[in-house]
Amino acid sequence: MIIRLRKDITSQEKKEIIDAVLELKYKPSEVKTQFGAYLVCTGKKEFDIRKIGFMPGVGDVHRVSSQYKLVSRQWKVDNTIIDLGDGVKIKRDELAILAGPCSIESIENAEKTIEHLVKNNIKIMRTMVFKPRSSPYSFRGIGIEGLRTVSGMCKANGIKIISEVMQVSQIEEMADYVDIFQVGARNTQNFNLLDALGEVDKPVLLKRGISGTIEELLQSAEYIFSNGNEKIILCERGIRTFEDAYRNTFDLNAIPILKEKSHLPVVADPSHAIGIRMFVAQMALASVMAGADGILLEVHETPEKAFSDAQQTLQFTDAEHLYECLRKTNALRNEIKYSMTD
Ligand code: PEP
Ligand code: MN
């Protein structure tokens, strides 16, 4: 059960609500976010929910049966909108495109990417400066100094930044230079990191774990929300299965399922999913039809020379054609609107 508390609730009213919840043998946890205050109550007993709903100080009350609660559509029917400022939003109907190299390699590489994004009216750049790599000898990113420089360049060109944060200590040093924190697939269940990102008033894009279930992804999102941050974006990026003909099994099914289970926006990352350059475009288009609110793409001026993930990175000209096709496909999806969450 989720009880949304009114903004003008008094401490006496709150105490009475908590007492009523305890009497029902439910366990209340108080959650305060940038947008509201809630009591998330776990328990099993059947009772007439109106008993709580009529109490002074209660905004509304909803029964939520799933393990994850605040990220569930059972209490919040409206799709969450992520507002990055300056008119840049991640929301239903407006397909967001988030593009850039796997990792920013140099200032020159950043300059060329920004030029490409501006030319194509793309408002969000992948600016990865800390890279989780399977081998410790691989390129691990240009680090925080690089992020500071690139952030200035992006701001000057009206481009927002998404960048991966790998540990709690990086949050503070990155916060002024990113618009979205990315939590990578290797960190989806790093609960300390999720707790800490819950204390930040900045959007978090949470990737599905390498072999994580949809339920686990939603539970991880719940960590962020329940610590105070409602600005969460979910990302399907493929999971590890027995199939090895491509990089990951792209679970397109997860897109409508996540959107039905949660009010949070869902983006897809076909680059890391299929992991093969020549097929990224068609899987990106399929993601839009499946209901994705945004697409993450790896692009580079000379993909074959990219320091990481060269095999799945699109060349600028191919990417330009894809952006055009993505926008047309999104317009078609908006026109036909057959998804239950449209
Ligand atoms: C990335 O987006 O750069 C990345 C490392 O992706 P993932 O965490 O999905 O592997
Ligand atoms: Mn990559």
Domain boundaries, the chain: 2-62, 82-341
Q: What is the pLDDT of residues 297-332, one digit of tens each?
A: 999 999 999 999 999 999 999 999 999 999 999 999
What token pair was written down for 34? 């940038």
Which helix (DSSP H) or strand (DSSP E) does residue 180 occupy?
strand 180-183
Which helix (DSSP H) or strand (DSSP E) does residue 328 occupy?
helix 316-336
Q: Which ligand is nearest to the CA of 190?
A: 1
CATH assignment, 2-62 = 3.30.70
pTM score of the predicted model: 0.97
Residue whose pair of structure tokens reads 């929301």 in the numeric block: 91
Relative to the CA of 237, which ligand 1 atom is closest? 9
Residues with Cβ within 8 Å of residue 108, at least 6 apart in sequence:
none
Residue 337, pLDDT > 90, answer no
Burial classification of residue 8, based on how many CB atoms lie within 10 Å of its CB (0-12 exposed, 13-18 middle, 19 or more buried): exposed
Orientation of helix 214-226 relative to helix 254-261, angle to 10°? 40
Report H helices in the chain. Answer: 11-23, 50-53, 107-119, 143-156, 168-175, 191-197, 214-226, 254-261, 270-274, 277-290, 316-336
**What's the average model confidence in pLDDT over 242-269?**
98
DSSP lists the bridge partners of residue 4 as 38, 60
**What's the average model confidence in pLDDT over 224-246?**
98
Ligand 1: does its nearest atom lie under 6 Å from the Cβ of 208?
no
At residue 276, the pLDDT reads 98
Confidence bin at 339 (pLDDT 50/70/90): confident
What token pair was written down for 236? 């399907």
Residue 341, pLDDT > 90, answer no
What is the DSSP-derived secondary structure letter of residue 65?
A: -
Greatest CA separation for the chain: 65
Atom 10 of ligand 1, residue of closest alpha carbon: 185
DSSP lists the bridge partners of residue 207 as 235
At residue 263, the pLDDT reads 98
Distance of CA 334 to the CA centre of its chain: 21
Ligand 1: does its nearest atom lie under 6 Å from the Cβ of 207?
yes
**What's the average model confidence in pLDDT over 54-61?**
97
CATH architecture of 82-341: Alpha-Beta Barrel (3.20)
Q: What is the pLDDT of residues 258-298, one digit of tens each?
A: 999 999 999 999 999 999 999 999 999 999 999 999 999 99
Ligand 1: does its nearest atom lie under 6 Å from the Cβ of 273?
no
**What's the average model confidence in pLDDT over 88-103?**
96
Q: Residue 65 CB: number of other CB atoms within 10 A?
A: 8
Gap from CA of 206 to ligand 1 centroid (Å): 10
At residue 342, the pLDDT reads 74
At residue 285, the pLDDT reads 98
**What's the average model confidence in pLDDT over 200-219?**
98
Bridge-based pairing state of the strands 82-85 and 88-90: antiparallel
Residue 53, pLDDT > 90, answer yes
The amino acid occupying position 179 is D
Distance of CA 37 to the CA centre of its chain: 22
Ligand 1: which of 129, 133, 182, 187 to mutate, judged by most atoms within 8 Å of the beta carbon? 182
* DSSP string computed for 201-246: SS-EEEEPPTT--HHHHHHHHHHHHHTT---EEEEE--B--S--SS
At residue 340, the pLDDT reads 72
Signed CA dihedral, 142, 144, 145, 149: sign only: positive
At residue 338, the pLDDT reads 73
Give me the chain's average pLDDT, please.
97
Torsion of CA 194, 195, 201, 202, to 10 degrees: -10
